[in-house]
Each structure stands twice: as C-alpha cells, then as structure tokens.
C-alpha cells in the first residue's frame, strides 16, 4: 500500500464545494476582487493606486520575485529595503527607503505579522501567505491602502488571487483559459485522493500524481530552482491573464471556507512540528503569536535540496522557499540573505492534514534531515 502524499498547499476538499457559509474577511469586503493569480492581484492593486512609470516603490530585499516582476512590468522603479537574515525587516531602513518612495510594499512571511506600516506613504500589504491570519486584533491585509491575498495557496481552490482596495474597487476582466483550469482542477482532486487515508483511493491517485507532477520530476532531476525562475521575464499579456477574474469554481468555493477552523487546524499542525522539530525552524518562527494562521513550517537546513529529495521519497512534497531573488535585486549589496536562499524549505501544516498525517510529516522530516546529512 502506498503512503499518503502530503503537499505544502492543500488540495481541493470536496466538502468546500457543498458548504455555504457567510463570507469572512477579506471575502466579505466591498473592495475585494478575486483574480486568477496573486501576481494579477498585485497588478490590479498597482493600477488602482495609480502607480506606474515615474513612481518609486519600496519593496523588501527578501521576496518571492513575482511581486517584483509585477512592479517591473508596471514600469515602476523598485527600491529595496533591508531584511535581516533573521527574516525581520530592518525598520530603520524600511522607514528611510519609504520616505524616498511613492508607496511601500510589505510582505507577511509565512502568515506572520508584518513590520509596522511606515507613516505618510501608501502601503500595499502582501498577505499572499496570510489569509485568515491576525496581527494582534487586526486581520493582516486590513490596514493598507491595498492588500493582496492568494486563496489558491491556503484553500485548495484551483486558482485565485484577491485584491482589496481600501477606498475603492477595481474590476477584473475576462476569465482564465479553461484548459489551464481543467488541468489545475484535475491535479487538485488527485492531490486530495493521494493524501486520503483510504488506501483504495490513495494508491492509484498517488501513482498518477507522481507521474504528471512537474515539481516531482524537477526534484528528482535537481532542477526545482529553474522551474521557479521560469516564472519571470513575463510580459504584460501574462499579467493581464493573471489579473483576469478567478475561475467560477474558486468564486464558489470561497463561500465554503471556515477561516476560524482553518486557523485552528493550521496552528495545531504547526505546533506538532514545533514540538517534533524545534531546532530546524529559524528562531523568529519558533513561537506562534496569537491569531497567526501559518502558511507552512519553515525549516533551515544546510543540505536543503537533498532533504527535499529525501522528503519526497517519504511522501512529503516540500518546496524550496524563495531560492533566487528577482534579477532587479543587487545580490552583492544584500549578500547577507544569500545563505537563506540555499537553506530554506517549507513543510506542510495545512488544514487538510490530521494529527495522523502530521505524525507522518514529522517522522519523514526527521529521517530525511538525517539521510541528507549522511
């Protein structure tokens, strides 16, 4: 019998499609628009705030890259502020750079709180990792002039970014290509079966999933990083597709999302890994502040790529965290972040995983880390 296959992002839960609840923040906000991808939401946020050629945007030196790509394609000049190797933002540098810019872009890393909002500047909150996450009493994404979210990362929906404009609204145009959506839905449903505790569903789904997954093949071939970089050098037309309306299925499925239960399950799963693997999580993420809904469990290990391959053999599909910065970043100037790019990976803690699954993730991670060091 095959073991369950557990991925960092949740698969589509059929229950979400048959449940209707009252919408929760940010989905209940007037200024919210669902888009096909998160980068499309950023594209619309920049437009709604009137940012384009002739404007400067302060962005963090530690980033995913697709947010910087959206700003580049919008013709905006990006000025980077410092993020310390602990993954805390250097507040002094953030405030200094913000003063030179027309707007400031803040990112919540893995759903954890953002730095304080610099005064006197338009702020875009990137809550791509922080759906249903709180900083003290405030929902992450509720304070800036605009915020972006990435429901597809947290909810197992087949696509979906979201943009929230605090004092306004922006329309998305068109729908994503149906072929792309059909592929995504097939892979999401297969992911659900592959993670299932029911062996009859699991074995065939795991087999197909492994065969068609580009990421699995890339891990085996050692080319995972190239797959990430392939998402850059985009064109305006790519961003326009990313900024189209989300699929109808995503529009429907967000009505089934129970933010409070998602946060509770993610916190429980994170706590299980904190207990099992306390030494490999960077110190900033060694506790779980009240209200945080973590996107994943960040792990820092010297043999990252081998650890990912060992995890995959044990049924855990981890991912590299941000292995390469956007080409606009001067990597020598921010050289202190380079080690992180080679050493960080993400383990799953999503709401679709039970305590039983989490014991398997913890065991696999312990074994994989040891095997990678041999």
Ligand X SMILES: Cc1ncc(COP(=O)(O)O)c(C=O)c1O
Residues that bind ligand X (CB under 6 A): 37-39, 64, 66-67, 107, 126, 128-129, 150, 152, 161, 242
Q: Pick from 348, 343, 344: which is nearest to 364 by CA? A: 348
Q: Write down the least CB distance from residue 39 to ligand X, Å.
A: 3
Q: What is residue 32's DSSP assignment?
A: E
Residues 263 and 270 sit within 8 Å (Cβ to Cβ): no
Q: Write down the least CB distance from residue 215 to ligand X, Å.
A: 13
Nearer to ligand X, 44 or 368 (CB): 44
Q: Write down the least CB distance from residue 246 to ligand X, Å.
A: 10
Q: What angle do the packed helices 355-373 and 259-276 form, to 10 degrees?
A: 40
Nearer to ligand X, 58 or 128 (CB): 128
Nearer to ligand X, 240 or 367 (CB): 240
A 10 A CB-CB count for 211 gives: 9
Report d(CA 85, CA 87) in Å as an integer.
5
Q: Write down the least CB distance from residue 373 to ligand X, Å.
A: 28
Nearer to ligand X, 300 or 357 (CB): 300
Nearer to ligand X, 180 or 366 (CB): 180
Find the residue with minimal CB distance to ligand X. Answer: 38
A 10 A CB-CB count for 274 gives: 17
Three-state secondary-structure class, residue 134: strand
Q: Write down the least CB distance from residue 153 to ligand X, Å.
A: 7
Report d(CA 303, CA 224) in Å as an integer.
15
The region that residue 160 occupies, defined by phi over 0 for left and psi between -120 and 50 for alpha, beta otherwise, is: left
Nearer to ligand X, 110 or 209 (CB): 110
Residues 114 and 124 sit within 8 Å (Cβ to Cβ): no
Q: Write down the least CB distance from residue 295 to ligand X, Å.
A: 9
């Amino acid at each position: 019998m095959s073991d369950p296959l557990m991925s960092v992002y949740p698969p589509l839960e059929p229950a979400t499609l048959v449940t209707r609840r009252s919408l929760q923040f940010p989905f209940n906000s007037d200024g919210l628009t669902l888009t096909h991808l998160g980068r499309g939401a950023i594209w619309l946020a920049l437009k709604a705030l009137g940012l384009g050629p002739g404007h400067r945007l302060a962005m963090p030196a530690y980033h995913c890259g697709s947010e910087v790509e959206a700003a580049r394609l919008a013709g905006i000049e990006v000025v980077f502020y410092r993020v310390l190797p602990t993954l805390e933002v250097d507040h002094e540098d953030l405030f200094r750079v913000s003063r030179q810019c027309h707007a400031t872009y803040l990112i919540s890393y893995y759903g954890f709180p953002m730095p304080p909002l610099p005064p006197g500047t338009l702020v875009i909150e990137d809550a791509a990792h922080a759906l249903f996450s709180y900083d003290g009493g405030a929902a992450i994404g509720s304070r800036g002039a605009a915020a972006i979210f990435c429901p597809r990362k947290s909810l197992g929906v087949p696509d979906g970014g979201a943009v929230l404009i605090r004092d306004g609204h922006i329309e998305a145009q068109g729908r994503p290509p149906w072929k792309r959506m059909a592929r995504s839905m097939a892979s999401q449903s297969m992911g659900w079966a592959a993670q299932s505790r029911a062996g009859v569903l699991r074995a065939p789904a795991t087999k197909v999933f492994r065969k068609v997954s580009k990421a699995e093949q890339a891990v085996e071939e050692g080319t995972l990083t190239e797959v990430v970089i392939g998402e850059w050098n985009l064109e305006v037309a790519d961003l326009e597709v990313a900024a189209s309306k989300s699929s109808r299925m995503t529009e429907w499925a967000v009505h089934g999302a129970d933010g409070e239960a998602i946060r509770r399950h993610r916190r429980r799963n994170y706590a299980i890994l904190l207990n099992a693997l306390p030494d490999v999580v960077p110190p900033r993420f060694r506790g779980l502040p009240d209200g945080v809904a973590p996107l994943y469990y960040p792990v820092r290990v010297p043999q990252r790529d081998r650890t990912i391959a060992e995890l995959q053999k044990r049924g855990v599909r981890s991912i590299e965290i941000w292995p390469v910065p956007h080409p606009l970043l001067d990597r020598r100037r921010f050289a202190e972040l380079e080690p992180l790019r080679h050493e960080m990976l993400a383990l799953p803690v999503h709401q679709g995983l039970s305590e039983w699954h989490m014991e398997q993730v913890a065991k696999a991670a312990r074994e994989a880390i040891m095997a990678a060091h041999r």
